[in-house]
């Protein structure tokens, strides 16, 4: 479990709209979590469609990477505006998504003391 004092990494999935791109981001998330950093992954824009329940059949290659990240304590969030733009609601999201958070939450997490951003 991540220490409050080690810092926080906020990964923004914005341009990562393929399973391969998300898999790379999740590897960084898992590595940071293993290094005792708190990690949040925020899916915005078209990236939220990768979190659609049932997409596992199409995007199954990254499921093991996602499971590892979640097991290490990585928190996964979806943007409410992105969900609406993709015609999705919270019930459409895969298991493991910690919640729905907008831009203010993302910025607050990354700009808190010890916070850092990575954008994919």
- Decide if pLDDT at 86 tops 60: yes
Contacts of 60 (CB under 8 A, 6+ apart): none
Q: Which domains does the chain have, with CATH numbers?
A: 8-112 (3.40.1260.10)
pLDDT for res 6: 73
Cα dihedral value 46, 9, 118, 65, nearest 10: -60
- Look at residue 13 in the predicted model and tell me its pLDDT: 95
- Tell me the per-residue pLDDT of 12-70, one tens digit each, with 9 for 90 and over: 999 988 888 888 999 999 999 999 999 999 999 999 998 999 876 666 667 889 999 99
Instruction: State the average pLDDT for the chain.
Output: 90
In whole angstroms, what is the distance from residue 45 CA to residue 72 CA?
Answer: 25
């Amino acid at each position: 479990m991540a220490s409050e004092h080690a810092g926080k990494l906020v990964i923004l999935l914005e341009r990562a709209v393929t399973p391969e791109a998300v898999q790379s981001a999740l590897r960084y998330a898992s590595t940071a979590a293993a290094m005792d950093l708190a990690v949040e992954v925020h899916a915005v824009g078209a990236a939220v469609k990768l979190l659609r329940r049932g997409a596992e059949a199409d995007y199954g290659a990254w499921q093991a990477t996602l499971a590892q990240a979640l097991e290490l304590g990585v928190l996964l969030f979806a943007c409410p505006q992105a969900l609406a733009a993709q015609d999705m609601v919270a019930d459409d999201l895969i298991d493991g998504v910690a919640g729905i958070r907008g831009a203010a939450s993302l910025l607050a997490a990354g700009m808190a003391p010890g916070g850092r951003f990575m954008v994919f």
